[in-house]
Amino acid sequence: MLELDLDKVLQLQAYPNYRVEKINDDTLIINYFPPSISDASGLEDAEASPRYYEIIGKIEDKKVKIIKAEIVEGDKRRKLDESELELWAEYLLRG
């Protein structure tokens, strides 16, 4: 599974669309809140449930190993596959 630099992940807390929480000494949750469809499209009447990414990782040797990742939309959850997660990680590492 995907591994990220721990310091880079912790820096996400500085951005308003991220929340990083340590669950215990070796596990954390990253929540990413992308712009809403109406914000992204500029259309005020676009309807959709708010969605966010929930990414759970294990901390090992200054790295975060992603063990679970889902998109949460209302009461629905969809597992992110490795390719979708890699796309997000590439964006993260560029920033």
| 30-60: pLDDT as tens digits | 999 987 765 555 555 555 667 899 999 999 9
How would residue 90 be classed by pLDDT, with cut points 50, 70 and 90? confident
pLDDT of residue 81: 87
Q: What are the structure tokens assigned to 71, written together?
A: 């998109």
What is the share, in percent, of the chain residues with pLDDT greater than 70? 81
- pTM for the whole thing? 0.81
pLDDT of residue 79: 95
Q: Which helix (H) or strand (E) holds 27?
A: strand 27-32
91 residue type, one letter: Y
What is the share, in percent, of the chain residues with pLDDT greater than 90? 58
| Rounded Cα–Cα distance for residues 17 and 31 (Å) | 8
10 Å CB burial of residue 89 (0-12, 13-18, 19+) is: middle
| Rounded Cα–Cα distance for residues 20 and 6 (Å) | 11
pLDDT of residue 83: 87
